[in-house]
């Protein structure tokens, strides 16, 4: 884990389509000063101010994590936020040419590769962490989330779908070194063929295709290249969790356990966690 804050050495630009809008969109990530955090702005809406990537700016979690303020939104931020967190980038200004971050190949890997190509630099400010001091849990029906003291950052994630292609999967991931890039970043978003058709009928999911999403139909994966890992589905859920949990605003020293969670439940847990100050403290490694 980093002792000092980190940002990009130079700007990077990624271009793709929005998975729901189907529109071509460009996103530019630029270096930012110490203690700036992560902010999003819209180049297609001149005059609007940037919105911070924080849990209290979340305005929708139905299909993706959406933040907004003052009448504008930035949608589907979880993959790029996961890439920033996985690369331990604390400060960046993100400008997007539409309301939705491009889906790229359905994973966080294109963003990770772009950040690595740009290079990273340490800054003259200590990196602050949210250190978990006592356990905190949230449950609702068959969904569970917990955060426990741990000297590092770890996620144990479990999913279960009544479908032969997915079934029950569980994986434990610890963020250290290049593990995010090699184990999690390349896991793609997934969906069912029938659900995709329903979304498209509602004018959503227009950008979803086999080049940026795993599509499951009946008892098979339609993507000709198949899966990147046999458990790619639970790996992608971990990716989503990393992105959603980053909206705490500071990296976490703790161990998450997630069972059948999603964007909405993740957000509810963040609200409970930050309101329960007896369970955590700010901490540096200096």
Quote the CA–CA distance of 185 and 110 in Å, as a whole number. 9
Active site annotation includes 263: yes
Q: What is the pLDDT of residues 96-143, one digit of tens each?
A: 999 999 999 999 999 999 999 999 999 999 999 999 999 999 999 999
Are 102 and 151 part of one and the same domain? Answer: no
Are 155 and 261 part of one and the same domain? Answer: yes
Q: What is the pLDDT of residues 164-175, one digit of tens each?
A: 999 999 999 999
Are 102 and 185 part of one and the same domain? Answer: no
Quote the CA–CA distance of 159 and 95 in Å, as a whole number. 33
CB atoms < 10 A from the CB of 230, how many? Answer: 10
Domain that holds residue 161: 129-283
Quote the CA–CA distance of 35 and 23 in Å, as a whole number. 33
Are 276 and 158 part of one and the same domain? Answer: yes
Are 120 and 146 part of one and the same domain? Answer: no
Are 92 and 196 part of one and the same domain? Answer: no
Contact 267, 81 (CB under 8 A): no
pTM of the model: 0.95
Are 180 and 267 part of one and the same domain? Answer: yes
Percent of the chain topping pLDDT 90: 89
Q: Quick one: pLDDT at residue 208?
A: 77
Q: Quick one: pLDDT at residue 116?
A: 97
Are 264 and 139 part of one and the same domain? Answer: yes
The one catalytic residue among 79, 236, 263, 279: 263
Q: Quick one: pLDDT at residue 272?
A: 97
Domain end point (choices 110, 126, 142) = 126
Does residue 147 surpass a pLDDT of 90? yes
**Total structural domains in the chain?**
2
CATH number of the domain within which 202 lies: 3.30.1700.10
CATH number of the domain within which 10 lies: 3.30.230.20
Are 69 and 121 part of one and the same domain? Answer: yes
Q: What is the pLDDT of residues 65-103, one digit of tens each?
A: 999 999 999 999 999 999 999 999 999 999 999 999 999
Are 195 and 100 part of one and the same domain? Answer: no
Q: Quick one: pLDDT at residue 196?
A: 72
**pLDDT: which is higher, 53 or 209:** 53
Domain end point (choices 103, 126, 149) = 126
Contacts of residue 64, defined as CB under 8 A and 6 or more positions apart, other chains included, come to: 19, 20, 75, 76, 77, 78, 263
Does residue 228 surpass a pLDDT of 70? yes
Domain end point (choices 74, 105, 126) = 126
Are 116 and 137 part of one and the same domain? Answer: no
Quote the CA–CA distance of 101 and 58 in Å, as a whole number. 15
Q: What's the mean per-residue pLDDT of the chain?
A: 95
Are 60 and 146 part of one and the same domain? Answer: no
Q: Quick one: pLDDT at residue 20?
A: 84
Contacts of residue 269, defined as CB under 8 A and 6 or more positions apart, other chains included, come to: 138, 145, 147, 261
Quote the CA–CA distance of 128 and 4 in Å, as a whole number. 8
């Amino acid at each position: 884990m980093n002792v000092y804050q980190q940002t990009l050495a130079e700007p990077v630009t990624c271009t793709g389509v929005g998975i729901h809008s189907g529109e071509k969109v460009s996103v530019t990530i630029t270096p930012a000063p110490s203690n700036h955090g992560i902010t999003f702005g819209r180049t297609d809406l001149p005059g609007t101010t940037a919105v911070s990537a924080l849990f209290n700016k979340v305005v929708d979690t139905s299909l993706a994590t959406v933040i907004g303020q003052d009448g504008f939104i930035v949608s589907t931020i979880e993959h790029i936020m996961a890439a920033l967190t996985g690369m331990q980038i604390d400060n960046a200004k993100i400008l997007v040419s539409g309301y939705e971050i491009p889906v790229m190949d359905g994973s966080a890997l294109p963003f990770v590769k772009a950040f690595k190509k740009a290079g990273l630099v340490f800054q003259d400010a200590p990196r602050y962490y949210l250190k978990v001091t006592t356990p905190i849990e949230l449950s609702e029906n068959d969904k569970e989330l917990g955060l426990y003291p741990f000297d590092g950052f770890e996620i144990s994630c479990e999913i279960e779908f009544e479908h032969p292609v997915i079934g029950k999967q569980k994986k434990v991931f610890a963020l250290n070194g290049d593990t995010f890039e090699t184990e999690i970043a390349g896991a793609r978003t997934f969906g069912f063929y029938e659900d995709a058709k329903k979304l498209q009928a509602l004018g959503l999911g227009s950008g979803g295709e086999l080049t940026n999403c795993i599509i499951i139909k009946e008892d098979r994966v339609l993507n000709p290249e198949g899966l990147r890992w046999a458990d790619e589905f639970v790996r992608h859920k971990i990716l989503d969790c990393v992105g959603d949990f980053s909206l705490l605003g500071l990296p976490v020293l703790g161990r998450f356990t997630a069972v059948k969670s999603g964007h909405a439940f993740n957000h509810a847990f963040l609200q409970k966690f930050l309101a329960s100050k007896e369970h955590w403290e700010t901490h540096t490694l200096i």
